[in-house]
Amino acid sequence: MPGPSPLASLGMTLSLPYNFAPDFVGEVLRPFSEDTEEVYLPLFWATAGSGRTWKGPATQREFLKAVDGLAEAAGALGVRLNFVANIEGGPRDERLAFDEIERLADRYPGATFTVASLPLATALKEARPDLEIGPSTLSDVDCALAAAYWKRAANPSVLTVAREVNRRPAVLRQIKALGFRVKVVARDGCVPDCPFRNQHFDLLQRCNEVAESEGQPHPVRCRPWIRRMKQDPDWAWIVALNAILPGNLRHLAGIVDIVKLEGRDKETAVVRRQAEYYRAAESLDYIDAEVVLREPPEAWERLANCDRSCTLCRWCRDHIVPAELPRAEGAGGVPARSRSAHHLLRISSEGEAPSLTVEAFVLEAGRPFFACSGRFGVAYRVAPGGGLPDEARRRIQALADELGRREADPRFDLRDPELAEFATRLWTGCRVQVVDATTGA
């Protein structure tokens, strides 16, 4: 019989994100059940916002059907459900969330609830003392005093801290001393002190207004700006200030109890890969769809005690570097900075009329596209007077679909020879090449 996993040896468990994918139970929940304490998921989107673009069922009936199946599978494995409601709205919005949480509590006995609003948590606890209700990372519990407010109002057994104190073990110890089990969101893809935070909350507050007027939940609008930061070698390091990497967990043994992984809007393969990394508790790589960073072992102690004067100090910028960038040695043995060029995949129909050029590229603000995946766009140019044939439309969409499948691997980029082979098969007789996005060569 194999022994406990490295994560379990540290006294920690996982909180896994449910992405509503049919393969989640088989590919994620069952293989990692021994290390998993809970699976978390949002309330239905028309009831309360959760801070992420909705990727679940379109109707509440379909939503409950999916959750019923998840609850049955999780219960058989000894894993509980945790529902998330990050609404911070007015009385009407909070009443909708209040009523929905009561219904879910009755339908799924033993489920726990995470809410951003302390007034909502207080009202629920007064009405239902049996419920386990704790704060979201968006509740900004960043010190023992903020934790004490939650203890007095809702007395949760588990307390999720603000991500800004993820790498502040002294603060986490003070919070744990109040009698909580501590939950951390290991990383969420955002930047410290995000300047879009107020807008983010405003969108959550207007969740139901938007749902009624547009018929769909409002997406988070900060992503393009954050994506550009993470793809800039001079700023990519910024996400490390809040991120707890798998190899950092050993420093938090005896402090952190539950490690929450992001991924409600990700493909199952991405969620599974994250669970593997954190169960192994070893890697010091930060990997997501926009950047791969490598952190030196000494970074933990440095960040645990620094004053976050990031505009004055260059230590993170010089030491936590994108892993795929060249690391030429500069003065004093410090890795020199080197900017990585973006690339395009270009398909050209040479000698045909009308001539057509198709390009796949990394999504960026302001650049139009005909079809896209999460990370990549596909656009086309056709000779003056020519139109886009239906077959070409189908091929462009097929390329975008293929990019969507491959981008689940965060190390994938447009230089992958298998992608070029796919494009060559798709556009038989056309020229397929990878070119520098800046020079076009």
pTM above threshold 0.95: no
Please report which helix (H) or strand (E) contains residue 130, including its range: none
As given in the structure block, the two tokens for residue 362 are: 């990394």
pLDDT in tens, 323-361: 543 333 333 333 333 333 467 899 988 655 557 888 888
As given in the structure block, the two tokens for residue 65 are: 């059907």
Number of helices (H), then strands (E), in the chain: 15, 16
Q: Enumerate residues 6+ apart whose C-beta is below 8 A from 57.
A: 20, 63, 65, 66
Fold of 6-294: TIM Barrel (3.20.20)
User: In the prediction, which pLDDT does 144 show?
Assistant: 98
182 bridge partner residues: 159, 256
Nearest to 274 by CA among 212, 166, 187, 377: 187
Q: Among residues of the chain, what percentage have pLDDT more than 90?
A: 49
> How far from 65 is each of 245, 260, 393, CA to CA, in Å?
35, 25, 36
pLDDT in tens, 165-192: 999 999 999 999 999 999 999 998 788 8
> How far from 358 is each of 307, 342, 382, 412, 423, CA to CA, in Å?
48, 17, 9, 20, 10
As given in the structure block, the two tokens for residue 164 are: 């800004």
Phi, psi of 77 (to 5 degrees): -100, 0
Provide the residue ranges of all domains of the chain, joining segments of one domain with +: 6-294, 343-436
Q: In the chain, how long is the greatest CA-to-CA distance? A: 75
User: What stretches of 122-275 adopt beta strand conformation (E)?
Assistant: 133-135, 158-160, 181-185, 256-260
| Higher local confidence (pLDDT), 278 or 369 | 278
The winner for highest mean pLDDT among 250-259, 264-273, 321-330, 371-380 is: 250-259
Q: How confident is the model at residue 368 (pLDDT cuts 50, 70, 90)?
A: low
Q: Cα separation of 259 and 356, whole Å?
A: 49
pLDDT in tens, 65-116: 999 999 999 999 999 999 999 876 667 778 889 999 999 999 999 999 999 9
